[in-house]
Each structure stands twice: as structure tokens, then as C-alpha cells.
């Protein structure tokens, strides 16, 4: 299994030109994208997004993707996490998102809602058996109101967890994005009942000024 050793190349800061018609927030976002070494590295390596490096770093630390693993990628668009799962040895990846996804060799994508009735059965059938790993890098559209955004992402993560518990094989793993804010305590208690090991992680590729973090749960008890 290849581990990630990311070193940002030295480069001069790029200045945004002809941005007068953009809002201040849009200008900040564009400037950040233009000067983000992970964005440049992902583009050069052919990854769908900089988020691919988050998945690499999580896998480096927690050894999530076993050789021949069957993986479900919730909120898979644009496909960066699916790319890394396959690169790291997954036998098959099934992804689902409300948005269409350009095909990735070795993966199957569904345009739809993972909460749709019967979707757990459909995805399990596509894999051929229950999953070894369920990934969720999903996040709701943010409002800018910290408390509201935290509640929204926690609700999404809790739905992803409930879904994962339906399709994971015993011993399987679950990864989900959260926002720091305190309301995650109930979810963590549930995770500790369902999994043998539960940890928080903030991979280096996650921007320092972002409140995002990940919960990594391994050793699914599977109703034991």
C-alpha cells in the first residue's frame, strides 16, 4: 500500500485579475483555489478534487482500504475518494450522489439519494455482498450560521451512519465528515456501541481554517 508524502512545491502567489465583478467571498474563494498546493497537485495527478488527498491521508493513518475491499462512497461527486479507494486496492467501489459523476474505471455510480427506500439493498446487490468500508465526505450547503450548519451536517452524518449499519459487513469501517461544534456527542456514543474503535481525525489536506473534521470508526460489531 502506497503512503502519501505530500510536499507543497514552492511557487509564487497567484494574484487574481479582473475580479471587480465578483463578490468579496467569491474573490476570496478563487484566490484560495489559485494558491492551494493541494488543488495544483490534484490537477497534476489527475484526481477529481483536492479532497483525494484527505482520503489518502486518512488511509495512510488508519489503513481503511484493504486489498480486495468492497467500498460504498456516499456523496461521491466528483469522484476523488472513489479514485483513491481503487488506487489503494479496493476491488470495487459503488458511489451515489445527487449530482451526475463522470465514470471512473472500476467504480459504478448512481445518480440518486442514498436515503431512498431500498437503496441499501440495491447497493449491496451491486457489490455482490455487504461492504467493507462506507465513506461519506458529504456536507450540506452552508448558510454561514455556524450553529445551523453544524446541526445540518450532524443530521447528514447520522443518516450516513444509519445507512452504513445496514450495509457493512462485521469488522467493516465507516468514515464521515463532521463540523466541530459540540453536538456530535450523541453520534459518538452511538458509534462506540456499533464499532470497536472510534477516533477523530483532521487530515493535513483539510484546511486549517476549516471546522471540518472526520470520524473514523473501525471494527463494526454487526449486531454482536
For residue 84, give the CATH number of its domain.
3.40.50.150
* Domain annotation covers residue 54: yes
pLDDT of residue 18: 54
95 domain residue, yes or no: yes
Catalytic residue among 177, 202, 208, 211, which?
177
CA–CA distance, 26 with 65 (Å, rounded to integer): 36
| C-alpha to C-alpha distance for 115 and 138, rounded to whole angstroms | 13
Q: What is the DSSP letter of 154?
A: H
The predicted structure's pLDDT at residue 48: 85
- Is 54 catalytic? The answer is no
Per-residue pLDDT of the chain (224 residues; tens, 9 = 90+): 455 545 544 445 445 455 556 455 444 434 454 456 778 888 888 888 889 999 999 999 999 999 999 999 999 999 999 999 999 999 999 999 999 999 999 999 999 999 999 999 999 999 999 999 999 999 877 677 777 777 888 889 999 999 999 999 999 999 999 877 655 777 888 899 999 999 999 999 987 777 888 999 999 998 55
Cell of 117: 427506500
By C-alpha distance, which of 217, 219, 155 is closest to 191? 217
Residue 20 pLDDT = 56
Radius of gyration (Cα) for the chain, nearest Å?
Answer: 18
Helix (H) or strand (E) holding 45: helix 37-45
> Is residue 200 in some structural domain?
yes
**Residue 224, CA distances (Å) to 193, 196, 221 in order:** 10, 11, 5
Task: Note whether residue 29 is domain-resident.
Answer: no
In sequence order, what DSSP letters do the residues of 184-208 get, joined into one string? THHHHHHHHHHEEEEEEE--TTS-T
3-state secondary structure 62-129: HCCCCCCCEEEEECCCCCHHHHHHHHCCCCEEEEEECCCCCCCCCEEEEECCCCCCCHHHHHHHHHCC
Extract the C-alpha cell encoding 85: 479507494
Number of H helices, E strands in the chain: 7, 7
- Please confirm whether the linkage preceding 90 is cis (ω < 30° from 0): no
Q: Which helix (H) or strand (E) holds 50?
A: none
Residue 110 lies in a domain: yes
The tally of domains found in the chain comes to: 1
Domain residue limits at 182: 49-220
pLDDT number for residue 23 = 53
Residue 44 lies in a domain: no
Give the phi and the psi of residue 93 in degrees, each rounded to 5.
Answer: -130, 130
pLDDT value of position 27: 44
Amino acid at each position: 500500500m502506497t503512503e502519501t508524502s505530500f510536499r507543497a512545491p514552492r511557487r509564487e502567489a497567484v494574484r487574481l485579475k479582473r475580479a471587480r465583478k465578483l463578490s468579496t467571498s467569491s474573490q476570496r474563494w478563487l484566490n484560495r483555489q489559485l494558491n492551494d498546493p493541494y488543488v495544483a497537485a490534484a490537477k497534476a495527478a489527475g484526481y477529481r478534487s483536492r479532497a483525494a488527498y484527505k482520503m489518502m491521508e486518512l488511509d495512510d493513518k488508519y489503513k481503511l482500504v484493504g486489498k480486495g475491499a468492497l467500498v460504498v462512497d456516499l456523496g461521491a461527486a466528483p469522484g476523488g475518494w472513489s479514485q483513491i479507494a481503487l488506487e489503494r486496492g479496493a476491488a470495487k467501489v459503488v458511489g451515489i450522489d445527487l449530482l451526475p459523476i463522470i465514470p471512473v474505471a472500476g467504480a459504478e455510480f448512481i445518480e440518486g439519494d442514498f436515503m431512498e427506500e431500498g437503496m441499501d439493498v440495491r447497493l449491496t446487490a451491486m457489490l455482490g455482498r455487504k461492504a467493507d468500508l462506507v465513506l461519506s465526505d458529504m456536507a450540506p450547503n452552508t448558510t454561514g450560521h455556524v450553529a445551523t450548519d453544524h446541526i445540518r451536517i450532524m443530521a447528514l452524518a447520522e443518516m450516513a451512519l444509519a445507512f452504513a449499519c445496514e450495509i457493512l459487513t462485521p469488522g467493516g469501517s465507516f468514515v464521515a465528515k463532521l463540523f466541530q461544534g459540540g453536538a456530535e456527542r450523541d453520534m459518538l456514543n452511538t458509534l462506540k456501541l456499533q464499532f470497536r474503535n472510534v477516533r477523530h481525525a483532521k487530515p493535513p489536506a483539510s484546511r486549517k481554517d476549516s471546522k471540518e473534521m472526520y470520524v473514523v470508526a473501525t471494527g463494526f460489531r454487526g449486531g454482536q
